[in-house]
Structure 1
Amino acid sequence: MDSPRDTEHEQLMEAISDVADLKQLDTDRLPMLAEEIRRFLIEAVSKTGGHIGPNLGVVELTIAIHRVFDSPDDPVIFDTGHQSYVHKILTGRADMFDGLRTRGGLTGYPNQNESPHDFVENSHASTSLSYAEGLAKAACLKQSGNHVVAVIGDGALTGGMAWEALNNIAAREDLPLIIVVNDNGRSYAPTVGGLAKRLTGLRLDPSYEPTLDKLKNHIESIPVVGKTAYSALHAAKTGLKDALSPQGMFSDLGLKYVGPIDGHDLGELTEALEKAKNFGGPVLVHALTEKGHGWAPARADEAEQMHAPSAAFDPITGESLKGKKTRWTNIFSESLIEQAEQDERIVALTAAMPGPTGVAALAERMPDRVFDVGIAEQHATTSAAGLALAGMHPVVAVYATFMNRAFDQVLLDVAMHRLPVTFVLDRAGITGPDGPSHYGMWDLSLFRMVPGLKMAAPRDAATLRTEFAEAVAEENGPTMLRFPTGGVPENNLDALDQRHGLDVLHQGQKPTVLLFSIGAMAPVALRAAELLEERGLGAVVVDPRWVDSVGEDAVKYAAEFDLVASIEDGVREGGYGDTLSAAMRDYGVTVPFQDFAVPKRWIGHGTRAEILEEIGLTPEAVSESIAAKHRTVDPGK
């Protein structure tokens, strides 16, 4: 099936309101169900955007898992969770897909509030095996007789946390745990690393039937004295199989290995999972799948195989239906190339996301200066430290939410050694449809506490270019830039003046309010200042640009106003405003202060604009609150 069809087909999905209905379906009708689910997914996701490629690849796999196991009694944990759309359909949520990833609608990841079949909202990679190991240990303690199934992609399997879990899983022969490796050779981009090479070798020659040319060198290395020609050939084939297959690797850990299995063959999948279920201990089932299976646009997308279109697209061609804007990521990508051309010491690292983080363009020009380390943010950070120790200037490009995972490495491996590493955090602040696990709202609070780390928040394309150039020129310690998702302001927000180490973006008449604007919140702050002036209140809007500290000059400047406020799209606790308020107290500045930031709570998914409105980070809400506060400061106004 290469595209949606208009011909009549059996509505098998309508008969499935829960996994119990799936188990009643005749086996010979399962392929028709799989085809129907694919058509449904393409049509539904084309209206909202979402993770289409990964889910088209796990249709048969998810059907087989729910036929063999008894969810929710047998927990099914998906890693990274974006491949759970088929699971949602089979557990009775097909009628919710018209609101996929929209405010108040169906989430794009497993969610405990949606269904008892969803155990964890595990949308950060490489976590499923640890969750599953804990659940399986509990099943042993309770003697429940239940099994636990963890579905992990080959990309997520590159993460260190997955291997920590495997080390512990292999130590328990009694764990009722089935690990399904969904091997499609990719995460966002093709999977990298030694494990990927082993898996790729297996995918390329799944029959293990070596040709004579392949066997020649290996046969010559085998002592044949006392062996028949047959035994020599058999030994050679076994040696080649071990060289290609990860079976030996997993078996050496003590895990039963089943595979490789055709991940789109329902019969083969079901048989393998039944065997694994009855084994009585931890088993790894290796399923070979194709990301975007059954849809031509995904197969044609060599870079990401339609991993996750962010907006509506044509279900036939896969073309986006949303107008293109210049994005923050594009500006960074151009700046990275520009700086790398000028300085041969600059190299880039990313964690399985060269395209989404903007380093892919540099990789095309200078492939030897870009390192994709797989889903391994901790390793990326300390590897960057090693590069810096050797005289290079590494640029680590990671989504802000994923950088949380490497805080210890930034703190102790980079900053404590005062190494010149630049971290570029894409998708900072409230990012929208992916939900709370993907919001980059903690980075300001977390990394501003790192000694010696200089942190910038660009407000537009021009300041991103300038601040990135300043960052890679820094030789005495680490630097960090953060910017949000989406398009940059159409026009650069040029400074009117520089005052007390601050960019002055707006100068009102007879100002009594000083408003600190952090990074991409500049348009909100500027519009809020205009609304304040309509209320008769003059305001000055300033941008500190580098937000890792608050200077004494800025604090003394604040003392000249009746009211000071700050606005940022990070968590209030530990953010810039929090630090500014503390600095004002330290210097004895008693001017009333307002801190507009993201509240410390879990915020549901929706568009960035919807969420900013909900939490009061809009020009209208900010200006109204400041005006009300100002009246208490000066009751005559």
Structure 2
Amino acid sequence: MKISSINPELTPQSPNLSDAVTEKPADTPLLDSLSDPQALRSLSRSDLVALCAELRRDLIARVNQVGGHFASSLGVTELTVALHTAFETPHDRIVWDVGHQAYIHKILTGRREQMSSVRQLGGISGFPRRVESEFDTFGVAHAGTSISAAAGMLEAAHHDYPGSESRRVVAVIGDGAMTAGMAFEALNHAGQLHRQLIVVLNDNEMSIAPNVGALSWMFSKTLTGRISTTARRHFKSLVERGVIPHSFYRALDRAEEAAQGFFSTPAMLFESFGFRYIGPVDGHNMDQLLDALERAKEQDSPVLIHALTVKGKGYEPAEADPVKYHAVNAFSLIEDGKPVIPRRTSQKPPTYTKVFGDTMVELCRKDPRLVGITAAMPDGTGLTRLAEEMPDRFFDVGIAEQHAVTFAAGLACEGMRPVCAIYSTFLQRAYDQIVHDVCIQSLPVIFAMDRGGVVGADGPTHHGVFDISYLRCLPNMVVMAPKDEAELRDMMLTAVEYLDGPIAYRYPRGEGTGTDIERAPQRLEIGKAELLKDARSSGSTVLLVGLGQTVAPCIQAAQTLAAQGIEASVVNARFVKPLDEALFTELIESHSLIVTVEDHARQGGFGSALLEFMADRALTSNRAIIRLGIDDFFVEHGTQAELHSLCEYDAPAIVARVQRALGTERHQSRPIAVNL
């Protein structure tokens, strides 16, 4: 099997991952005997059932040590085994949607021992990635992409070109992803292609509504049972041998379809897209799954298999609270299988997300126009409390960022003050709506961009490192970033009271700085930066400009430099757009080394904005300019601190770059512009 690691050039020297390898769980003889998924096809169905129990024990033991996405993978254990048994992977393609449910898939495809490094710096990803394994046929992490990608792969297999091969393609979608509009766009198109695309809907009641009634369930069991499957194959054989007319077989087929449509609302929905519907089947019953997959392979048109699963299956706490156990930190197990969560030894500051959620409730109580909108992330964005205490002021639109933004635009048209709380990385999906429906009309929509900056273990698909670039270029848009949680509250109030157009603020994942948030939020002057340390009277030639959470390392760097006899002024930019032109003009004219620091891509980021301003005002002469941030690559997964160090914009990196620049300047015959 082809198993690749991530690009070593994009990570610092990897930690010794063998130190983190977990002790192999006992009693996994079947799993121990598997060398690759092909070996599954030699196991009996009873052995496959036993293997699923072993896989769950193995997964629980490994996630127990390092954390990761948990409940979703437990819920698709049987489905994953059935897919790799029924199809010739990796020749046949399995495309996972979102991918957080693919841990069992990774264990079965040669990465079992590497699971102890999942989501760790230098380790394997928590999501399928093409660079990691030939079994990971498509890189995923955002919802709703699987059917589109699978349809494209299958269509390519039907075209005659060098390297083309005939193969089956399966898209596995669910766990909320069917609420994404893109999924239905793909169904609509794939149904028109008339290819043998197989879509497996993993319905764990976190996606679409449960099937209609017990009769539908009973009827499905009959249709997908071994006897009916065998009978169907027998009739097909009789047709091929000319014993019975093809018209008779088609009549039976149409009768079956009609009965399904009568008893099953999902059947009518998916068959209206041109898909043959099979199900619902028990997603934890190996016989039903394998029979349904074999039946799907017999079709010559698109097929959708509706599998009912339980998120967190096999681990009682996760079954009881699948949202809590969707993704977990490392935890400990005791004999009865209950988790032991380590107690905090000290009180930690609240997260930015919690501060946002609590402040939303506070502001909503004071302003009847204010509402919160999320795209299937009430917990992740901190809006759960608002949903519980003021449900009429909260809207969860599902995984539908495009709709969320235009829905907010409609609210703003009528005088409401909508707050779109969407992760930075997911807001990318609604860019046309931001431009066309909000900015062109200059509607006062508020964008609360959680997870601004590198997020840590979820990696490149989830880092929010492009929002400054894609928002600051838009006319009418205001963009802010708070240095701490108190300033986040100030920016939230400022945004609510700003009526001249759209306004956005970005804030990071994780805990705040611990600053006092008891005082009432205060309105900030639009476009006004904050001078935190003015070292000009001490002969300072260095200006450090931080944005958002990089203000703190700028302050730390200034303290370190001061101890070395190098004084540096420090500015909290606050606003990406508009810039504080008066303050920056004054400070730039009185400093010869300007360093910008941001938790964002350098290209098009805050440093670029300041450099553009300096060029427009002819302020670049006789000055060195250093822009610290993320260079032109996708940042891998690791802790936030590790990634800040990797990308060289933490406090030690700032100090080192200033020292290097000052040392270089002493040997230069003329001023230089450093663009590193």
Same-fold status (TM-score > 0.5): yes
CA shift for structure 1 position 208: 6.7
SS at match of 1:253: coil
Of residues 313, 324, 332 in structure 2, which corresponds to 1:314? 332
Task: Indicate the residue corresponding to 2:593 in structure 1.
Answer: 563
- Contact 1:354 1:372 survives alignment (8 Å): yes
Is 1:477 aligned to 2:501, yes or no? yes
Question: In the alignment, does 2:169 pair up with 1:148?
Answer: yes
Q: Give the Cα separation in 1 of the matches to 2:387 and 2:551.
A: 32
Whether 2:382 is the aligned partner of 1:358: answer yes
Tell me which moved more, 350-359 or 16-25: 16-25
Q: Does 1:573 align with 2:593?
A: no
* CA distance in 2: counterparts of 1:525 and 1:498, whole angstroms: 23
What is the total number of aligned residue pairs between the two structures?
A: 593
- 2:178 corresponds, among 154, 157, 161, to 157
The equivalent of 2:304 in structure 1 is 284
Partner of 1:44: 62
Specify the alignment match of 1:615 in structure 2: 647
Match of 2:91 among 67, 73, 91: 73
Distance, in Å, in 2 between the alignment partners of 1:461 and 1:203 is 49
Which residue of 2 is the match for residue 219 of structure 1?
none
**SS of residue matched to 1:21:** helix
Superposed counterparts of 1:398-417, under 5 Å:
398-417=422-441
Partner of 2:362: 338
Question: Paired residue for 2:13?
Answer: none
The 2-side partners of 1:204 and 1:413 are apart by 45
Q: CA deviation at 1:415?
A: 1.1
2-side partners of 1:24 and 1:293: how far apart? 26
Output the amino acid matched with 1:586. Answer: D
Contact 1:565–1:593 under 8 Å retained in 2: yes
Please say if residues 129 and 137 of structure 2, whose CA atoms lie closer than 8 Å, have aligned partners that are also in contact. yes
Distance 1:111 1:345, change over 3 A: same
CA contact (8 A) 1:312 1:321 kept: no
Shift of 1:422: 0.8
1:481 partner SS: strand
Q: CA deviation at 1:443?
A: 0.7
Of 450, 453, 460, the residue aligned with 2:474 is: 450
Alignment of 1:101-112 (within 5 A): 101-112=119-130
Native 8 Å contact 1:501 1:553 kept in 2: no
Once residues 574 and 72 of structure 2 are traced to their aligned partners in structure 1, the CA distance between those partners, rounded to angstroms, is 39
Task: Tell me the CA shift for residue 564 of structure 1.
Answer: 1.1
Q: Is the partner of 1:444 in helix, strand or coil?
A: helix
Shift of 1:242: 4.3
Cα–Cα, structure 1 residues 441 and 99, in superposed 2: closer, same or farther, change >3 Å? same
| Equivalence map 1:413-424=2 (5 Å) | 413-424=437-448
Separation in 2, partners of 1:409, 1:322: 44
Given that residues 177 and 281 in structure 1 are in contact (C-alpha distance below 8 angstroms), is that contact kept between their aligned partners in structure 2? yes
Does the aligned pair in 2 maintain the 1:255–1:284 contact within 8 Å?
yes
Alpha-carbon RMSD? 2.6
2:229 is aligned with 1:200: no
Residue 407 (structure 1) shift: 1.1
Shift of 1:154: 5.0
Counting only pairs closer than 5 Å after superposition, residues 51-200 of structure 1 correspond to structure 2 as 51-142=69-160, 144-173=165-194, 175-186=195-206, 191=207, 196=208, 199-200=209-210
C-alpha distance in structure 2 between counterparts of 1:79 and 1:322, whole Å? 35
Q: Distance in 1 between matches of 2:137 and 2:526?
A: 53
**Structure 1 CA distance for aligned equivalents of residues 563 and 68 of structure 2:** 41
Whether the aligned pair in 2 keeps the contact of 1:500 and 1:553 (CA below 8 Å) is no
User: What does residue 541 of structure 1 align with?
Assistant: 570
State whether residues 16 and 92 of structure 1, in contact with CA within 8 Å, keep that contact through their aligned partners in structure 2.
no
The answer (yes or no) to whether the contact 1:203–1:288 under 8 Å persists in 2 is no
Query: Residue 368 of structure 1: CA displacement?
Result: 1.6
- CA distance in 2 between partners of 1:144 and 1:633 (Å): 60
Paired amino acid for 2:437: D
Which runs of structure 2 are paired with 1:516-531 in the superposition (5 Å)? Answer: 516-531=545-560
Q: CA deviation at 1:629?
A: 1.2
Deviation at 1:538, TM superposition (A): 0.9
Measured against aligned partners, the alpha-carbon deviations of 1:375-395 in whole angstroms (never above 9, x if no partner) come to 111111111111111221111
For 1:337 and 1:206, the matched residues in 2 are separated by: 43
Mapping 1:219-234, distance limit 5 Å: none
Say whether the 8 Å CA contact 1:55–1:292 is kept in structure 2: yes
Q: Does the CA contact (< 8 Å) of 2:25 and 2:61 recur in 1?
A: no
The answer (yes or no) to whether the contact 2:528–2:575 under 8 Å persists in 1 is: no
Match of 2:661 in 1: 629
| Residue from 310, 316, 323 that aligns with 1:296 | 316
**In structure 2, what is the equivalent of residue 17 of structure 1?**
35
Does the CA contact (< 8 Å) of 1:292 and 1:305 recur in 2? no
**SS in structure 2 at match of 1:567:** strand
How far does residue 10 in structure 1 lie from its aligned partner after superposition? 4.2
Aligned mates of 2:381, 2:103 — CA distance in 1: 25
Distance of 1:7 and 1:82 partners within structure 2:
22
1:384 is paired with a residue of what secondary structure?
A: helix
1:354: Cα distance to partner? 0.3
**Mapped partners of 1:239, 1:464: distance in 2:** 57
Report if the CA contact (8 A) 2:486-2:515 is conserved: no
The answer as to whether partners of 2:25 and 2:58 remain within 8 angstroms in 1 is no
Q: Out of 330-339 and 152-161, give the one that drifted further.
A: 152-161
Once residues 282 and 451 of structure 1 are traced to their aligned partners in structure 2, the CA distance between those partners, rounded to angstroms, is: 45
Unaligned 5+ runs, structure 2: 1-22, 220-254, 669-676
Name the stretch that deviates more: 622-631 or 82-91.
622-631
Question: Quick check: 1:146–1:176 contact (8 Å CA) kept in 2?
Answer: no
**Mapped partners of 1:499, 1:385: distance in 2:** 22
Secondary structure of 2:436's counterpart equals helix
Q: Against the structure 1 CA distance between its residues 10 and 632, is the aligned structure 2 distance closer, same or farther, given a 3 Å change threshold?
A: closer
| Kept after mapping to 2: 8 A contact 1:60/1:266 | yes
Aligned to 2:398: 374
